[in-house]
A and B are shown apart, each in its own frame.
Chain A
């Protein structure tokens, strides 16, 4: 049963548990690979996670002169291969979301690999496992299609991926505002 990472940005409370948990994935060498942003810190407490969206046609991998960025059969865009990465940082510049991080000492790019050691066996990635608010969810495609029906946003369009992203992504997301047009119980 194929499962996907789904991001419900409106739910985010900015606890950064996803970042703390990222270091706990066995393959991540205790380094976190994602971001949580304060949207407008002087005004309110809105925050949003910024994770790798695992593009279907990833700019990072396309821009890599050394083929260091492999794409797993599940669609996960993996972290740079240690033996191939030349530390040019093309990937960080090419990524429309600035996701790949860089280790100066090791001269090595590292990024979210969707906890491939977990997700290849259907186990949720660490970030989605711990997320206290269900901002990050690991859901089946069936659950995903239910969400599409559920969220009737003001423009009537499903917010995930297109047209708000640069291209089709494996990770799906909803921008803040999911409660707009919500039919109340009473």
Chain B
């Protein structure tokens, strides 16, 4: 398919007694192509070899990708089900014994049935994740609603992609994370990247980013920190955490005022321009500077560059999305493309850097509290009817919409929810306000966790089920471009571990709902049912057969039938997905973060990733190379701030907010604002920065505000007397 200037025909090295299995990485939304090396005598995965022919990443991998294979046969793998014997030890690794699958299933079925008999169907819940295939994500939605018959299902995308989804739905009427393929990026003339530490979080995008500058194009980065990508940006908009909306409005105002708009595009293809123009008038460079802390000349220059660029792409990530106004931020940055008409043609558009491997596909097919497969809505009777036909249930049997991930945890605390089936997620690290979250998990009557390692969250479970890693199952994943790709199986499941779809099919049988599941004997069976369930929805995967995915190097949705090659570029016909075919330019009044600095908590705390770890770190902290490179969290502090507190490099300090405290080594760096401190979030137990973060939620996406809260540092060390 796409063969760009980075593509070279390169043969792989083939060692004797080895075979190569083509697949993709287990981690982020880049889904880099890789070959797993499998020993043909032991049939075990033993290493990795680049996949030069994969058009998006041409063999490139970050250190997580290179070492991803080490997860499969890791000594920490769970090989048999675990049953908790000592409930007083909940929250620790202790108190479990090994059990058979039969015993574990029996216990789960008995407990779940008893809770539902006494407290109703909705006393149970499912908390899922999107670091797994579309097939598993689809089946988890069906499992919750048909087998467990509960309304309470939601997933960790609420801590990841839900603001981008909400913003795109409002602006475009459709939520595909990128309106253009990644293979366009290096050919654009300006990249405007907001709230994305691309170099560390999506490293294999970087060769395309640098190529823009090498061609004489521009890179604009908005970030409170001078991250490795900001270091080389033409303009670094070093804003205060949580003030993105003002910055986007300020840039929009300048684009309009200085005549960089496309009046014809605005007139024919959008709504809302006039009221938005009025609203952003007040965001002069001076006012924008006052709110954001970015100097006016940089704001003016950034607007000029984006405005003048013949082609430009606006990109963003969790930095703007994990805020109480995350959805507004997404729509506000999308406004830039809409007023200038830099969308709906090659080399132009808007994209979010999807965080999790299947953050895109996993949110489309019914794991979200209010959604059904194909991005259908539970509140739309026609949609419910369509899915019921595939599932073989009546619309009356379909549970009503539930609540978002963090709100489910609140319902665990107040005992509305008494049972939990957790899979593919580690909320005891990744959710905000951890003291509350951990208390809520302890408050559950019965908790099941399916994972391939004993995660921090599994420590709260009554039963732990051993799932497989990505390399021991097959299925499809939708990468950050919206391209459906194929994950291939390289090894049989280790020990007695099983893929999540199989666990759910077997558990459904025990719950008396086997007739809806027992026809699903392979991942391919699930795939075929899932394609059918998505058919006719706007995230239509029906035409994305596994064969076509292999043949075409992936298929971009929507893909409606066998003949449809898919849709790499969205909106080429300038038709958006709102009923009138127009996009919406949104007038978005500025509001500050939920918690602003004050006398007691004068610093702004923001969190993020490092290149060596993925999400809660449950996988990457176990990989020796990655652990050695970043064994523990730290707090980044500007030297002037450090001086004010009298703290030194590598000294341990107490960092605290209204919700919690933790102790971190100080990392002094000039690459951060003086009013801001940063801590990476991949660490658990007492080292988790989410003990401190704020659970204030975006009103639309229900995304917590991980990226901005008020904090204070306390010096604890006594200086050594020499």
Q: B215–A17 contact, CB under 8 A?
A: no
Is there a chain A Cβ closer than 8 Å to B280's Cβ? no
Q: A45–B228 contact, CB under 8 A?
A: yes
List residues 183-236 of chain B with CB under 8 A from any CB of chain A: 189, 199-200, 203-207, 210-211, 213-218, 226-229, 231-232
CB distance from B47 to the nearest CB of A (A): 6
- Chain B residue numbers with a CB within 8 Å of A11 are 206-207, 210
Q: Quick one: closest A residue to B207, CB to CB?
A: A134
Task: Specify which of B12, B214, B669 lies most central, judged by the most chain A CB atoms within 10 Å of its CB.
Answer: B214
A-B pairs with CB below 8 Å: how many? 128
In-complex Cβ contact of B203 among A44, A132, A184 (8 A): A132
- Given known contacts A20-B63, A183-B216, what 4 new A-B pairs fall within 8 Å (CB)? A13-B228, A15-B203, A133-B199, A133-B206
Is there a chain A Cβ closer than 8 Å to B310's Cβ? yes
- We find that the number of chain B residues with CB closer than 8 angstroms to chain A is 53
Q: B189–A185 contact, CB under 8 A?
A: yes
| Complex interface bits, A102-144 against B, C-beta within 8 A gives 1, otherwise 0 | 0000000000000001100101101001111110000000000
Is there a chain B Cβ closer than 8 Å to A21's Cβ? yes
- Chain A residue numbers with a CB within 8 Å of B213 are 179, 182
List the 5 shortest-distance A-B pairs measured between CB atoms, nearest first. Answer: A13-B199, A132-B203, A13-B228, A20-B66, A185-B216
Q: Which of B54-62, B251-259, B317-325 contacts A (4 or more CB under 8 A)?
A: B54-62
- Chain B residue numbers with a CB within 8 Å of A131 are 60, 207
Is there a chain B Cβ closer than 8 Å to A85's Cβ? no
Q: Quick one: closest B residue to A151, CB to CB?
A: B214
Tell me the complex Cα distance, A21–B611, Å: 15
Is there a chain B Cβ closer than 8 Å to A46's Cβ? yes
- Chain B residue numbers with a CB within 8 Å of A150 are 214
- Chain B residue numbers with a CB within 8 Å of A163 are none
Q: A186–B67 contact, CB under 8 A?
A: no
Is there a chain A Cβ closer than 8 Å to B11's Cβ? yes
A14-B611, A45-B231 known; A133-B189 Cβ under 8 A? no
Tell me the complex Cα distance, A137–B649, Å: 35
CB pairs A–B below 8 angstroms (8 shown): A15-B200, A43-B671, A44-B669, A130-B65, A131-B207, A132-B61, A133-B203, A133-B207
- Chain B residue numbers with a CB within 8 Å of A23 are 625
Tell me the complex Cα distance, A178–B213, Å: 10
- Chain B residue numbers with a CB within 8 Å of A10 are 232
List residues 9-56 of chain A with CB under 8 A from any CB of chain B: 10-11, 13-17, 19-21, 23-24, 26, 41-47
Q: Quick one: closest B residue to A137, CB to CB?
A: B207
Is there a chain A Cβ closer than 8 Å to B700's Cβ? no
List residues 635-659 of chain B with CB under 8 A from any CB of chain A: 639, 649
CB distance from A122 to the nearest CB of B (A): 8
- Chain B residue numbers with a CB within 8 Å of A132 are 60-62, 203-207
CB distance from A32 to the nearest CB of B (A): 8
CB distance from B186 to the nearest CB of A (A): 10
Is there a chain A Cβ closer than 8 Å to B572's Cβ? no
CB distance from A28 to the nearest CB of B (A): 11
- Chain A residue numbers with a CB within 8 Å of B670 are 42-44
CB distance from A185 to the nearest CB of B (A): 4
- Interface residues, chain B, with chain A CB atoms under 8 Å away: 10-13, 15, 47-50, 52, 59-63, 65-67, 189, 199-200, 203-207, 210-211, 213-218, 226-229, 231-232, 308-310, 611-612, 625, 629, 639, 649, 668-671
A41-B669, A43-B670, A45-B231 known; A13-B203 Cβ under 8 A? yes
List residues 127-172 of chain A with CB under 8 A from any CB of chain B: 129-134, 150
CB distance from A75 to the nearest CB of B (A): 20
Q: B61–A21 contact, CB under 8 A?
A: yes
Q: A17–B62 contact, CB under 8 A?
A: yes
Q: Quick one: closest A residue to B629, CB to CB?
A: A16
CB distance from B232 to the nearest CB of A (A): 7
Tell me the complex Cα distance, A147–B625, Å: 34
Tell me the complex Cα distance, A157–B458, Å: 59
Q: B669–A42 contact, CB under 8 A?
A: yes
- Chain B residue numbers with a CB within 8 Å of A186 are 189, 308-310
Tell me the complex Cα distance, A50–B204, Å: 20
- Chain A residue numbers with a CB within 8 Å of B12 are 123
CB distance from A15 to the nearest CB of B (A): 5
Tell me the complex Cα distance, A129–B53, Å: 12
Q: B199–A129 contact, CB under 8 A?
A: no
Tell me the complex Cα distance, A37–B207, Å: 20
Q: B11–A123 contact, CB under 8 A?
A: yes
- Chain A residue numbers with a CB within 8 Å of B52 are 129
CB distance from A89 to the nearest CB of B (A): 24
- Chain B residue numbers with a CB within 8 Å of A123 are 10-13
CB distance from A6 to the nearest CB of B (A): 13
Q: A185–B61 contact, CB under 8 A?
A: no
In-complex Cβ contact of B671 among A44, A134, A183 (8 A): A44
CB distance from A25 to the nearest CB of B (A): 8
Q: Quick one: closest A residue to B34, CB to CB?
A: A130
Q: A118–B13 contact, CB under 8 A?
A: yes
- Chain A residue numbers with a CB within 8 Å of B189 are 185-186
CB distance from B484 to the nearest CB of A (A): 23
Tell me the complex Cα distance, A14–B199, Å: 9
- Chain A residue numbers with a CB within 8 Å of B214 are 150, 178-179, 182
In-complex Cβ contact of A134 among B210, B231, B308, B668 (8 A): B210
- Chain B residue numbers with a CB within 8 Å of A26 are 13, 15
